[in-house]
Amino acid sequence: DADVTQTPRNRITKTGKRIMLECSQTKGHDRMYWYRQDPGLGLRLIYYSFDVKDINKGEISDGYSVSRQAQAKFSLSLESAIPNQTALYFCATSDSGRGPRGSAQYFGPGTRLTVL
Amino acid sequence: QKEVEQDPGPLSVPEGAIVSLNCTYSNSAFQYFMWYRQYSRKGPELLMYTYSSGNKEDGRFTAQVDKSSKYISLFIRDSQPSDSATYLCAILRDNYGQNFVFGPGTRLSVLP
């Protein structure tokens, strides 16, 4: 987990507030991802980025936006938080240079977000 | 039908038992399969990675893929209390490396 760090680790906020979650990695990987995890639903992809200029929506991108500030930094924003965005959020990285066999993702420790 | 299905458990076993964790999937084109372990309040960590059918062994862990049945398994031999965690299966939907589908995870408790 030390190679992929997330801040903050915990956040409680109110409906309508803007929230930013940050992710940094020292693995040298080019690909970065944001997931949310909800009980019984598994991990679901919000956004992914293949490099600084390549950002793509995942399966549940509505209500979220991202910014890839550098190869090592990828932030997730909730422009106007709502209670059903309460979840555990994970950043992950992977290395495209190894093709499909190297597509295994490495996760950060997570951010527990509560929207009241 | 869901792309990936996994019994959420919880599964409780005594220390030293052999544990079998399983996932089924719907798309016969899937080729790359992974198992992640997630401890409480931690991010998932890659445990095993397999391609196509067959078995792969790593210490006490064995990953098995049966493509004909669309069934993947993770076996843990001589289970330890430190194996208590949630185990997630993950399947790569394509060959480009970014499109994963994760199972919801099976929560395992190994009792001393």
A47 within 8 A of A61, measured Cβ to Cβ: yes
Mean pLDDT on A81-85 = 96
Q: Is the pLDDT of residue B57 over 70?
A: yes
Element housing B10 (H / E): none
| Distance in Å, alpha carbon of A9 to nearest chain B alpha carbon | 10
Q: How confident is the model at residue B2, as a pLDDT? A: 81
pLDDT at residue A1 tops 60: no
In Å, how far is A46's CA from the nearest CA of chain B? 11
B43: nearest CA partner in chain A: A109
Residue B97 has pLDDT above 80, yes or no: no
Give me the pLDDT at residue A104, please. 77
User: Average pLDDT, stretch B43-52?
Assistant: 88
Round the average pLDDT of chain B to a whole number and report it: 90
Cβ contacts of B88 within 8 Å, gap of 6 or more: A42, A43, B6, B35, B36, B37, B38, B44, B102, B103, B104, B105
Give me the residue label for tokens 């965005």. A85
Is residue A23 within 8 Å of residue A4, measured between CB atoms? yes
pLDDT at B11: 94
Q: Three-class SS of residue A85?
A: helix
Of the listed ranges A28-32, A71-75, B81-85, the least confidently predicted one is A28-32
Compute the Cα dihedral for B59, A3, A109, B55 and give only its sign.
negative
What residues of chain B lie within 8 A of the CB of A94, using their CB? 97-98
DSSP code at position B83: G
For position B30, what pLDDT does the model report?
84
Compare A112 and A95 and report the one with higher pLDDT.
A112
Which residue of A42, A90, A94 is in closest CB contact with B43?
A: A90
Q: What is the mean pLDDT of chain A?
A: 91
Q: Does residue B92 or residue B106 have the better pLDDT?
A: B106
Over residues A53-65, the mean pLDDT reads: 93
pLDDT band at A74 (very low <50, low <70, confident <90, very high): very high
Query: Where does the pLDDT of residue B54 fall: very low under 50, low under 70, confident under 90, or very high at 90 and above?
Result: confident
